[in-house]
Structure formats: C-alpha cells, structure tokens
Homo-oligomer: A and B are copies of this chain.
C-alpha cells in the first residue's frame, strides 16, 4: 500500500541530442516501447528546459511517466503510480527489465540503469542510510514497537534477515544479528574481564552488559537514562540482552536509571575507580568542526571517564562509520588534547544491521 517510483536512465552520446529532429526520433523510440506495455499512452505536456527537454506522459490517468532529456547525454524516465495492498502490479518488474534491455540496444545507449521500485508513503521505514548518507533498503516487514520517550524516538522494527532491530531517532542502533558489534566494542578475546570492575555509560539495549556478564566480572554498573529503551529491548531484543534488563540487578551487576554525568561526578568525588569504562552513548557526530553541544558532551564524558579509571584501566567506545574519516579524525584530535594524556588503539568491524564498517576506540592513560 504505497506509491511506486520506477527509475530508469540511459547514458548516451550527447551529440545525439544536438537538434530537435534527433531528439524527436529518440523520443518516438522510447514512447513506442512504453506504449507497448501501457496502451493509450498520451503525451499530456512537454517543454524545452535550459538543458534539455521534458515530457509528461499519462496512461489511463493513473500512471504518470516523466521523461527528461539532459543535453549532457542523460535520459531519465520515471514511472509513477499507486498500488493498493493485494493489488496486482501495473506491470511485472521483469517487464521493466525487458524495456531497459530493448531500449539500451535500440537507442543505443552506452549505459543503462534500472533501479528496483522505490516504495513511497508507506507506513514502514524501509529505507535507512549509511553514515555517509548512502541509500540502503532493508527487508523490514513489521513495526514492532514505537514510542517517543523524553529523550528520543524509539522504534523496534523487524527485519527478515537481521531480526529485531532498535532504531533511535531514525538511526540503526543494534539488531539481533549484531553480536560482532558488542564483541568488537568489548574486544572479546583481547581484554580480560574476569574479576574486573566495570562501568557502562548508556548501553540501554542491554547487549554489552549481557555479554560482559559471561566473562565473570567482579561488578558491572550500568548508567542508562532512558527507561523506555530498556523496557522495549527487554521485551523485543531478548536474544541479545537475556534477562539483564528484566532483573536490573544481580550478584555482580546493577542497572541505574540515571543521567550518567551526575553519577560520574559523584564517583569522582567518592574516589571510585574502574578497570573499564564503556562509552556506549551517542555516536561521534559528523560535523565540520568539533564544536557545539554534542562535542562538548563527548569531551565531558571523556574527561570524567579518565578520572574514573584505575592507572591501567581502559575506556572503550564505539565512534562512527569508517566512511567518515573526518569525524573519526576529529575524535582522535579530541583524544590528543586530553589531560592526563592518553594513548589509543582502534578496531573495525562490519556490522550487519549498519551495512557498513564501524570504528571502535580503546583509550588508556599514557
């Protein structure tokens, strides 16, 4: 139950568009092919543009085709219509593939490209983006949970292949497929958590706490501000968080629903120290300069975390997508400005639900 846009393009020799006659011949070829599958196709409007030509075609007054010639050698064709649930598609997708192939030969075009139908105005958000703003279509088939909390828009959606997936403010957060995310964040197999004292800043999905507890730490304190995230994940992401969000505390862990900043300040005052502090909060922002509220927040978190570390302690955090070296660079520059001075290593993992490589940092006192 959504509108469909089917986008088809051809890259041609631009000299072919030199005059009206030539363009007309090309147009007739395209129109003829489209008319074969959309009978009684009509040109309802046409106009010369500064850089080419525009045609608007209509089929039964429901399916509209816009066809543009760009003098640089590109032809774009958009077929648009609405399709109700259960309704037969106006045209089988394989038919579009055949139109593409026929026209590529007939025009002829150097290159052609037909995109899968773009579904618009649906209820589910099936298109998400990578860090570098690339378009990614997910096999999301169900909205499992949606609520606006005091802090963020919380959604849990179901993907056929990734399982349930937490989406915060339209950003992929973690899915049932993403054990690699937690394992890279905690550097499983490299760091030794046995009998260690650990503090998690954020971590509301419960996955990090759940995995850490398998390594027999002395005690883990988790400071998460958003009660609703935890309730939603407890119910719908059980496979990655077990019962830790349900129980909230055990012999060697406790979840505190609170602003982590307040608790960090309290811990600093008390002289409390940890072997590991995890920054499992907001991603490192993508911005031109390391200024503004979010960067101030990141710096404050870093500074306070260092104060909570034992001399050989570590601060472990996720940062951002590997496609955004500028954001990562900026984060590293912030690390270099810290007092006391720190050293750091990094690790990368391809996270299934992000469909991209993610970068994680391991920071320790120099």
Contact = CB atoms under 8 A, between A and B. Distances in A.
Contacts of A122: 11
Given A72-B1, A161-B356, A116 B135 contact: yes
A350 B54 CA distance: 43
B82 A72 contact: yes
B54 A47 contact: no
A15 to B, nearest CB: 16
A11 B124 CA distance: 11
B76 A350 contact: no
A139 interface: yes
A7 B9 contact: no
B139 A132 contact: yes
A329 to B, nearest CB: 15
Given A60-B50, A139-B132, A161-B356, A123 B45 contact: no
Interface in A78-117: 78, 80, 82, 84, 93, 111, 113, 115-116
Interface residues of A, number: 67
A238 to B, nearest CB: 21
A320 interface: no
A136 interface: yes
Interface residue SS majority, chain A:
strand
Contacts of A54: 56, 64
A9 B137 contact: no
A78 B76 contact: no
A2 B7 CA distance: 14
A302 interface: no
A223 to B, nearest CB: 31
A74 B3 contact: yes
Contacts of A188: none
A161 B120 contact: no
Contact of A66 (B66, B120, B352): B66
A172 interface: no
Contacts of A115: 118, 127, 135
Interface string A62-75: 10101010101111
B134 A137 contact: yes
A142 interface: no
A226 interface: no
A62 B50 contact: yes
B138 A134 contact: yes
Nearest to A180: B350
Contacts of A74: 2-3, 82, 120-121
Contacts of A58: 47, 49
Interface of A: 1-3, 5, 7, 9-11, 44-45, 47-52, 54, 56, 58, 60-62, 64, 66, 68, 70, 72-76, 78, 80, 82, 84, 93, 111, 113, 115-116, 118, 120-123, 125, 127, 129-130, 132-139, 160-161, 177, 322-323, 350, 352, 355-357
Instruction: List 9 A-B pairs, minimum CB-CB distance, nearest first.
Output: A74-B121, A134-B137, A45-B45, A9-B120, A350-B352, A135-B137, A50-B62, A9-B121, A70-B82
